[in-house]
Amino acid sequence: MIIDPHYPNIVLTCPYREFTIELEQSVWQDVTTYAAWVNYDTGSAVAVPKAWTRAEAIKRAKQWIDRNFYGANTRPSS
């Protein structure tokens, strides 16, 4: 059995700091979701596995970068 490979459907690329955020769009059963990849000099990572909107995916990817590379706590204070 050969599994069908998943080729990302990148719909938007934007720079943030020294990183590149790539948004992938997927549609399954008429529901559109987004994932955000973060690319940097030494690799890449899926920063946001699932988001419901492009804006949410970008916001969470920026927070992921800040948290993982700059130690910034981006969560709102209660």
pLDDT 10s digits, 18-76: 999 999 999 989 999 999 999 999 999 999 999 999 999 999 999 999 999 998 665 54
Spatial CB neighbours of 8, under 8 Å, sequence gap ≥ 6: 22, 24, 35, 37
Cβ distance 61 to 39 under 8 Å? no
Distance CA 50, CA 44 (A): 16
What pTM was computed for the model? Answer: 0.81
- Closest to 54 (Cα-Cα) out of 34, 32, 39: 34
Beta bridge partners of 24: 10, 35
Total Cβ atoms within 10 A of residue 44? 12
